[in-house]
């Protein structure tokens, strides 16, 4: 894999000082076909030499791949400097896959329910390291990959420029050719970067990890609340929705913690008048400290949400791969110290 392969065609053309046509051919080879740079067709050798001189060689090494009974497949990759990151291939409708990418090795935000938080932050990934995750999974898959979510290890908006560079490389028609509307970027609520993202008008889907509508409760689950409190976050959500459309809110459900009627009422008050889509998902906590709601608790919460958020789409996400360390950071935590 080449450092320059983590860019879309236009960026590659500008940075390498080559024609857009040549950049598209190179992108088509390296990202589109997963081939070596020298396999780019109809590109002069002198141009390939110029690009090769600018590129930083490196590759991801697959350490482990595990399959869950429900079709999820999780990969553990080693980066060139020995750090490890995880990627998950998610089956969709038995016809194609979505891939969940990591944007950092570890994470600094310390969410209470997340295994990655226990690893701490080692560093942010470069764009090519994110693209390389996708290419490795694609090479291992019989079905097409039609979507990407930046919801793996790390906080994407604390690696903003590299994540956006990778996202544009993945939606490049000359490269991976993934519809930009099927690329989602998730954040725990880094408000200044949400506002920047809104102002810049990017075409990818914005997802925000909410998880509680009461400040004290969210602070206990997500320390990011201390720096970017709910009132500021909700204003940023409102601004984005007004300019760019409905915002997807992720909500990790924890039994006895954030799925009561009072939580639904707080959500209704907090989100009143804002076009959002709420995606509840059961917690997957290997430590056993937090448990997912049972069906009765979920049904009661769902009914309360319908009352408090009338007209708001509430779509329960499936928490997959629970038998094979599918939640963020679990596989890396298990392998740390090998």
Bridge pairing between strands 247-253 and 73-78: unpaired
Q: How many residues does the chain have?
A: 338
Q: How far is CA 23 from CA 37, 171, 279, in A?
A: 11, 15, 39
Taking Cα atoms as reference points, which of 296, 224, 227, 232 lies closest to residue 270? 232
Say how far apart CA 118 and CA 107 lie, in whole Å: 8
28 DSSP 8-state letter: I
| Residue 86 among the catalytic residues | yes
Q: Which entry of 100, 111, 207, 328 is annotated as an active-site residue?
A: 328
Residues 6+ apart with CB under 8 A from 299: none
Question: What SS3 state is found at 62?
Answer: strand
Say how far apart CA 119 and CA 236 lie, in whole Å: 29
| Residue 324 among the catalytic residues | no
Residues 6+ apart with CB under 8 A from 337: none
Q: Which entry of 86, 155, 250, 308 is annotated as an active-site residue?
A: 86
Q: Which residue has the tokens 């997957």?
A: 284
Q: How many helices (H) and strands (E) does the chain have?
A: 12, 11
Helix (H) or strand (E) holding 11: helix 9-16
Strand partners for 149: 100, 184
* Enzyme catalytic residues: 86, 328
């Amino acid at each position: 894999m080449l450092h320059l392969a983590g860019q879309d065609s236009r960026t590659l053309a500008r940075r390498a000082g080559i024609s857009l046509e040549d950049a598209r051919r190179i992108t088509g080879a390296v990202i589109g076909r997963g081939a070596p740079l020298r396999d780019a067709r109809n590109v002069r050798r002198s141009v390939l030499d110029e690009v090769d001189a600018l590129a930083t060689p490196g590759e991801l090494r697959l350490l482990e791949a595990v399959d869950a009974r429900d079709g999820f497949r999780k990969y553990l990759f080693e980066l060139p400097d020995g750090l490890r990151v995880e990627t998950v291939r998610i089956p969709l409708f038995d016809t194609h896959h979505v891939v969940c990418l990591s944007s950092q090795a570890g994470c600094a935000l310390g969410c209470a329910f997340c295994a990655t938080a226990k690893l701490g932050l080692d560093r942010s990934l470069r764009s090519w390291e994110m693209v390389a995750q996708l290419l490795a999974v694609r090479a291992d898959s019989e079905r097409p990959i039609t979507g990407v979510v930046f919801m793996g290890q790390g906080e994407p908006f604390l690696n903003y420029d590299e994540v956006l560079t990778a996202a544009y490389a993945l939606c490049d028609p000359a490269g991976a050719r993934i519809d930009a509307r099927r690329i989602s970027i998730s954040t725990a609520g880094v408000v200044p970067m949400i506002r920047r993202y809104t102002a810049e008008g990017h075409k990818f889907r914005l997802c925000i990890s909410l998880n509680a509508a009461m400040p004290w409760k969210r602070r206990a689950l997500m320390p990011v609340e201390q720096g970017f409190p709910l009132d500021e976050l909700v204003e940023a959500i409102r601004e984005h929705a007004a300019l760019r459309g409905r915002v997807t809110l992720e909500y990790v459900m924890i039994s006895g913690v954030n799925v009561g009627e009072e939580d639904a009422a707080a959500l209704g008050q907090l989100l009143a008048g804002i076009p959002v889509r709420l995606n509840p998902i059961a917690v997957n906590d290997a430590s056993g400290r937090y448990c997912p709601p049972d069906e009765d608790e979920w049904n009661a919460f769902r009914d309360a949400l319908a009352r408090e958020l009338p007209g708001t789409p509430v779509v329960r996400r499936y928490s997959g791969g629970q038998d094979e360390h599918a939640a963020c950071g679990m596989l890396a935590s298990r392998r740390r110290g090998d």
